[in-house]
Amino acid sequence: MVRTRFAPSPTGFIHVGNLRSAIFTYLIAKSNKNGKFLLRIEDTDRGRYVEGATEVIYNTLKTCGLLWDEGPDVGGEYGPYIQSERMESYKEYAEELVEKGEAYYCFCSEERLNSLRETSQAKKENFLYDGYCKSLSKEEIEDKLKSGEKYVIRQITPNEGETSFECQVYGKISIDNDQIEDQILLKSDGYPTYNFANVIDDHLMNITHVVRGNEYLTSTPKYTLLYRSFGWDEPTYVHLPHVIKENGKKLSKRDGDAYFMDFIQKGYLPEAIVNYLALLGWSPEGKKEIFTLSQLEKIFSIKRINKSPAVFDIKKLNWVNSSYMKKLPDDSFVDLCIPHLNNAGIDTLDREWLTKLCVLFKDRLNNTFEIVDHYNDLFNKEFSIDGEALEFMQNEGTDATVKIFKEKLESIEWNSENIKNAINETGIDAGVKGKMLFMPCRIATTGVMHGPDLPKALELLGKEEILARM
């Protein structure tokens, strides 16, 4: 049985890159018969812990439809699923490695370690702990422990040769052992390090596939050495390509494109975000790109994960999101738009009017937040005709067309159907059609050459406003 886990740290909102990892982890499990997707909260880094962040993780995954089979809130036979509730096991396994001669107590002070770091920096070398405490005698260690000296437990790393592992995406990866530090397994405060806790928990929870970003490629040999030290089988590793912007830079909080909630607040649909992120670093067979989560579960394959960096293309996300919005029932679409309008102070209009407004622009929006910009363009911009639109109005006959159109509008009951009829009648009376009919009518009433359905837009603007403009 395939068993995967998403193991975030409760440090705030979920980053887009982490959510992409969660999606791939979920799909690897669900694309296999009886596969299980686990949620584990890794909260042993207490310095970065953020109150309430665990609930953010729950809500984000549920919003995206990534429901877990085992986890802190749903239970399971391999719990607890919160690392801080598994503390005893980490110490036991660290001490087991000491007894096996695969790890050792390190009593080096912070001052000594800082001195070593400064020396490495001066030589422009990567800092690696020098293994000083590895040579302490059994008696020295016992004396230090009895006297209550602070210590960490470090793993013993081979000095020669290399350590290799197999990644399903990048193939065989090898790292020279002299580039691998005697990593800390258990910190002086009794908490495990990230790497150590991962290995212990993944083994005890029978995780078969470990999915993470390719920035962990160079540190995975540390995991390999730990598995070997315990005599355990390694899981299958799946390293995902980086997610970068078109300029090669990382997604950033400053640019508002780093976190899932950034896009939700901008009016992107969770289903569209999931669909788009699944395409970042993975490609389906054929040309189809719009998939529901259940459809992705049926077609996902590790073999189609790419090695190259995945470029986060906002235009592509806009296209995917627009495709999803167009399929929404009008009432549901309006419900998503109204909060953005209300937040912009547009909250005094009745439901029927708002529905007409939102539906008018439904096919022109990249996200529901843009409804505010379209509203402002339609109602809050001072009416003027300039540029290419003004140039077009110099064409012979446009004045006559506008005059006839105005006369038609003055005499009708104001609704889009009557406005549409007025346009058609204007064409007949003025003897014009095509752009020589529609352009003068649009420019004289909206000031621009292109826009949404004209009769519906004019209905929203109101008869008094339109006649004043004309």
* Under 8 Å between Cβ of 461 and 378: yes
Strand, helix or coil for residue 331: helix
Classify strands 184-186 and 171-176 as parallel, antiparallel or unpaired.
unpaired
* Under 8 Å between Cβ of 293 and 65: yes
Strand, helix or coil for residue 81: coil
Q: How many residues does the chain have?
A: 470
Task: For residue 133, give the nearest of 161, 159, 166, 155 by alpha carbon.
Answer: 155
Classify strands 152-155 and 184-186 as parallel, antiparallel or unpaired.
antiparallel
Residue for token digits 């802190």? 72
Give the other-Cβ count within 10 Å of 170's Cβ. Answer: 15
Q: Which residues are catalytic?
A: 253
Residues 344-350: contacts with CB under 8 Å, at least 24 apart: 344/372, 344/375, 346/372, 346/375
String of b and e for 276-315 (b: at least 16 CB within 10 Å)? Answer: bbbbbbbebeeeeeebebeebbeebebeebeeeebbbeee
Q: Bridge partners of 212?
A: 239
Residue for token digits 């494109």? 257
Helices (H), 159-257: 194-204, 220-230
Q: Which parts of 128-235 are beta strand (E)?
A: 152-155, 162-167, 171-176, 184-186, 209-213
Strand, helix or coil for residue 266: coil
Give the other-Cβ count within 10 Å of 8's Cβ. Answer: 22
* Under 8 Å between Cβ of 437 and 424: no
Q: What whole-number distance in Å separates Cα of residue 321 and Cα of residue 326?
A: 9
Q: Which two tokens stand for residue 184?
A: 């800390």
Q: What whole-number distance in Å separates Cα of residue 137 and Cα of residue 150?
A: 17
Give the other-Cβ count within 10 Å of 167's Cβ. Answer: 18
